[in-house]
Structure 1
């Protein structure tokens, strides 16, 4: 789970981090927490990284948390879940943030157990909404079925492991966006698997071949040197 936390008070950032570190279930990887004191810094990261959850303070010098929330809803095809965590607790403030797309609103000073419960509820609700909205998706001649974890071309299933499916689904859900190796490893591999080999490169090679991610089929899976990968549509119609 990758979480971006935005607050211009370092002490508050540390308190939120300490609370969220307790969210991982036993046996699960620790959550990857990324803290920002300026909205502009988080905005730059959102243009090149993927997060599962944003926790945003409202009042910041420069680019505010509310402005950043609105940007994600206006410019991202699949914006992450977002919780406003702010000292502004007037009814009009809460209504304004929820209307801007916030999934929940928590007032400062926050109570750790309440924040954990709200985070869990938002992530659960967000996951259910995405599953319901994107159970079957088509990309040119490829049809992804999230319920069956299968990909079909012209009605014929393509043999894939569950991890290959989820990695491919992630790439297609983020068309045109660079995904870092760090993000992909954190999401799809345990630490033990990462240190033993280079599984990401192997899986990318398999996906190129199995899904036909080539220009003649309308796709280009680019390797970004020193960073990661980006899947692009090159606008070629498949006959």
Structure 2
């Protein structure tokens, strides 16, 4: 889970970070927390990186949190979930934030257990936090079994490594959402393996071939130059 936390008060920033680190991650969904004291720094990252969740303070010395929230909704093709975390607790402020696209609103000083619960609830609503139950999902003729880490096409197994399975599952779980290279590397490769771009490119090439991610099967795995990849569902041609 890739989360950006924005607050111009370092002590508050660290407190939020420490609270979120108490939420258990998984091998497939590790937590990666990125802290920002300036809105401009976060805005620069949003233009080139993927985040699952933003936790934004409202009052900042450069760009306000509410302005940044509105920017994500107006300019990002697939904006991340947003929780406003601020000392502004007037009803009008809460209404403004929710009407601007915020997923939730938490007042300062926050209670750690409440913040963890609200973060988990928002991620579940966005399909970003899986339940502990056995999940089987189908996409056209492909079926993903999370318990067995297997993919089948029309009942026939496709031979994937565990990393290939998890990468493919991530792409399908984020259909039509651009995913940055950094986002994918942080989730599926160790720091030592992130020395070049080739491992990711090689895995994308293999998945295109093994899963048949081509237009005639209803898929398009696009390379976004200078950013990353996006998997899209496309209409297949039908015979008349």
Same fold (TM over 0.5): yes
Could you list the runs of 5+ residues in structure 2 that have no partner in the other structure?
A: 130-136
Cα distance 1:93–1:185, how it changes in 2: closer, same or farther (>3 A)? same
Displacement of 1:229: 3.4
Q: Return the alpha-carbon distance in structure 1 between the equivalents of residues 209 and 144 of structure 2.
A: 21
Q: Return the alpha-carbon distance in structure 1 between the equivalents of residues 124 and 173 of structure 2.
A: 18
Q: Return the alpha-carbon distance in structure 2 between the equivalents of residues 124 and 171 of structure 1.
A: 14
Partner of 1:173: 176
CA contact (8 A) 2:208 2:221 kept: no
Pairwise CA RMSD of aligned residues? 4.1
Instruction: Give the TM-score taking structure 1 as reference length.
Output: 0.70
Cα distance 1:55–1:160, how it changes in 2: closer, same or farther (>3 A)? farther
Cα distance 1:97–1:211, how it changes in 2: closer, same or farther (>3 A)? same
Instruction: Give the TM-score taking structure 2 as reference length.
Output: 0.70
Q: Return the alpha-carbon distance in structure 2 between the equivalents of residues 146 and 75 of structure 1.
A: 32
CA contact (8 A) 2:66 2:97 kept: yes
Displacement of 1:160: 6.5
Deviation digits for residues 31-54 of structure 1, max 9, x if unmatched? 211111111211111111111111
Cα distance 1:166–1:86, how it changes in 2: closer, same or farther (>3 A)? same
CA contact (8 A) 2:8 2:37 kept: yes
Partner of 2:90: 90
Partner of 1:74: 74
Q: How does 1:92-171 map to 2 (within 5 A)?
A: 92-127=92-127, 159=158, 161=160, 162-169=165-172
Could you list the runs of 5+ residues in structure 1 that have no partner in the other structure?
A: 130-134
Displacement of 1:121: 1.4
CA contact (8 A) 1:82 1:103 kept: yes
Partner of 1:10: 10
CA contact (8 A) 1:214 1:221 kept: no
